[in-house]
């Protein structure tokens, strides 16, 4: 299969390219890092890249929490306009198979249960609560403490920042394209991806990269809030394997199918910082109590649907992956 990989020179995209080659496919990289003219927002450039292509793996995106709404136009342009241009070109070229780099950020907060009110959805955390160190959301009905759990693909979307809103819009655009063309679209809702080639010290680097860079300087990782935020850290090679599996399987004609893509092993941000500190023999993490508005407290997914329907499973465990990541491999 000849696969156009947008963002194929980036962190995740480059691993997808490697995984496609290893599986006997022919990846075609489309990325402004390699070619300034390869902008997914340019209809002519995208159209020129599609002849002979059997499927598209759309990784190109502007990522990260961003700066409130100050950079909203940039996110919408790169993520949503770019996706719309790509889908229109695919429709014209007769390419009918798409795998989209989705994100767990579309859920907002994860799944919570109140002892009295069952499964509930807390609203955004207030700045006053965060400043006072009240990091855990309470039940929206009674204010009681909540138990976090795993969120399924059937949970309603509730994006809490501009980036999250653009990732959800990408899925809606892909669903519209699939219905209009009878194409198949799969969105893999990635969790916190880490591993080799992860960006360093940029506004869009993940927390694992920031922690590792601090340790490389001999500094303690600075952990926001109380360090008990739950996340699912999934290795980039496992994510790339999920992309190849999804491309080979295809989706349902005329529809968008979504799959959570995580390790299935929730860990706290504090766990991450301690694992990297231990692996590098560096100073213990410092819990700062600082916070970022727009961050969610807990978001971990149930990825069993991807395992059950497509046969994918992660191969790199947390401890092994963190040791490798700490060594810069």
78 and 53 part of one domain: yes
pLDDT for position 262: 96
Catalytic residue among 112, 163, 190, 194: 163
Last residue of a domain, one of 149, 175, 203: 149
Whether 263 contacts 191, CB under 8 Å: yes
Together in a domain, 37 and 131: no
Same domain, 120 and 217: no
* Residue 69 confidence (pLDDT): 85
pLDDT value at position 26? 98
Q: What is the pLDDT of residues 107-158, one digit of tens each?
A: 999 999 999 999 999 988 999 999 999 999 999 999 999 999 999 999 999 9
Among residues 96, 131, 149, which one ends one of the domains?
149
Helix, strand, coil tally for the chain in percent (to 5): 35, 20, 45
Residues 91, 177: Cα–Cα separation, whole Å? 8
Q: Are 84 and 174 members of one domain?
A: yes
The answer to whether 184 and 56 have CB atoms below 8 angstroms apart is: no
Q: Looking at the structure, do residues 116 and 83 belong to the same domain, yes or no?
A: no
Structure tokens at 10: 């980036």
- Whether residue 100 sits in one domain with residue 130: no
Burial of 76 (0-12, 13-18, 19+ CB in 10 A): middle
Backbone φ and ψ for 95, nearest 5 degrees, come out as -85, 125
Please report, for the domain that includes residue 11, its CATH number.
3.40.50.720
**244 and 180 together in one domain:** yes
Q: How far apart are CA 224 and CA 296, in angstroms?
A: 12
Residues 98 and 238 in one domain: yes
Q: First CA to last CA across the chain, in angstroms?
A: 29
Q: Identify the pLDDT of residue 203.
A: 60
Residues 39 and 125 in one domain: no
Count of domains for the chain: 2
Question: Is 132 found in the same domain as 30?
Answer: no
163 in active site: yes
Kindly state whether residues 185 and 314 are assigned to the same domain: yes
pLDDT, tens digit, for every residue of 280-308?
A: 999 999 999 999 887 899 999 899 999 99
Residues of the chain where predicted confidence (pLDDT) is lower than 50: none
Question: If you count DSSP H runs as helices and E runs as strands, how many of each does the chain have, helices first?
Answer: 11, 16
How far is C-alpha 98 from the geometric centre of its chain's CA atoms?
A: 17
> pTM of the entire structure?
0.94
Q: What is the pLDDT of residue 8?
A: 97
Beta strands in the chain (DSSP E): 2-6, 26-30, 55-58, 97-103, 111-114, 118-120, 147-151, 184-190, 192-194, 222-223, 230-231, 233-235, 255-261, 267-268, 286-287, 300-301
Query: Distance (Å, rounded) from C-alpha 45 to C-alpha 86?
Result: 10
* Burial class of residue 7 (count of CB atoms within 10 Å of its CB; 0-12, 13-18, 19+): buried
- Three-class DSSP category at 173: helix
pLDDT of residue 294: 79
Domain's final residue, options 123, 149, 175: 149
Three-state DSSP string of 56-122:
EEECCCCCCCCCCCCCHHHHHHHHHHHHHHHHHHHHHHCCCEEEEEEEHHHHCCCEEEECCCEEECC
Question: 143 and 41, same structural domain?
Answer: no
- Note down the domain range covering 122: 111-149
The pLDDT assigned to 98 comes to 98
Q: Which two tokens stand for residue 129?
A: 């609560």
């Amino acid at each position: 299969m000849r696969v156009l990989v947008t963002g194929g020179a980036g962190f995740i995209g480059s691993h997808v390219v490697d995984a496609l080659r290893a599986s006997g496919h022919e990846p075609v990289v489309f990325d402004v890092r390699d070619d300034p003219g390869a902008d997914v927002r340019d209809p002519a450039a995208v159209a020129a890249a599609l002849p002979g292509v059997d499927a598209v793996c759309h990784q190109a995106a502007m990522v990260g929490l961003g700066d409130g709404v100050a950079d909203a136009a940039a996110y919408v342009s790169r993520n949503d306009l770019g996706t719309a241009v790509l889908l229109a070109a695919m429709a014209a070229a007769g390419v009918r198979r798409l795998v989209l780099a989705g994100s767990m950020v579309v859920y907002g907060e994860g799944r919570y249960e109140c002892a009295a009110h069952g499964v509930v959805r807390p609203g955004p955390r207030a700045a006053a609560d965060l400043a006072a160190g009240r990091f855990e959301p309470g039940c929206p009905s009674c204010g009681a403490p909540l138990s976090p759990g795993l969120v399924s693909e059937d949970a309603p979307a509730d994006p809490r920042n501009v980036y999250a809103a653009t990732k959800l819009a990408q899925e809606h655009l892909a669903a519209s394209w699939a219905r209009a063309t009878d194409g198949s679209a799969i969105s893999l809702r990635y969790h916190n991806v880490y591993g080799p080639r992860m960006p360093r010290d940029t506004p869009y680097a993940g927390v694992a990269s920031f922690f590792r860079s601090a340790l490389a300087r001999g500094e303690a990782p600075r952990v926001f809030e109380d360090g008990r935020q739950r996340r699912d850290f999934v290795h980039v090679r496992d994510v790339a394997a999920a992309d190849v599996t999804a491309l080979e399987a295809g989706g349902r004609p005329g529809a968008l199918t979504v799959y959570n893509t995580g390790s299935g092993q929730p860990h706290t941000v504090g766990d991450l910082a301690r694992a990297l500190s231990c692996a590098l023999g560096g100073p213990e993490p410092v819990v700062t109590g600082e916070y970022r508005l727009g961050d969610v407290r807990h978001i971990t997914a149930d990825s069993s649907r991807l395992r059950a329907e497509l046969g994918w499973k992660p191969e790199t465990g947390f401890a092994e992956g963190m040791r490798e990541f700490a060594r810069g491999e």
